[in-house]
Amino acid sequence: MLKVILACYMEFEERVGMMNVGGTKSRAYDMVKVFVEERLGKFTGAEVIAGCPGAGRSAILNALKKLAEENVIVKCGGGRGTYYVRRDAFKE
């Protein structure tokens, strides 16, 4: 049971650290970029929303769109089936 509590605290510290970069509240773009850099394989918008607490849904989706425009990630599919892959892990 103590391992579960410790794991929860460690997860919490990571998320709070991601939200407070340099003592100021991070923008949604920065939080999404950190999330994307740590991900392996494909991920959905819902996973990013769940992994970036404190940022609004529309801000996160806009950040994903901007990252796709900057060629950091690749958007695959459309509608409910949309998923993203980091550019360095994408195989055509």
* pLDDT tens figures, 2-21: 888 888 877 776 666 555 55
| Ordered per-residue pLDDT tens for the chain, 92 residues | 888 888 887 777 666 655 555 444 558 888 899 889 888 889 999 999 998 887 889 999 999 999 999 999 999 998 889 999 998 876 66
Domain ranges of the chain: 27-89
Q: Are 82 and 45 in contact (CB under 8 A)?
A: yes
CATH of domain 27-89: 1.10.10.10
Question: pTM of the predicted model, to two decimals?
Answer: 0.70
Query: For helices 57-69 and 28-38, what crossing angle results, to 10°?
Result: 60
Instruction: Show the DSSP H helices in the chain as ranges.
Output: 2-19, 28-38, 45-51, 57-69
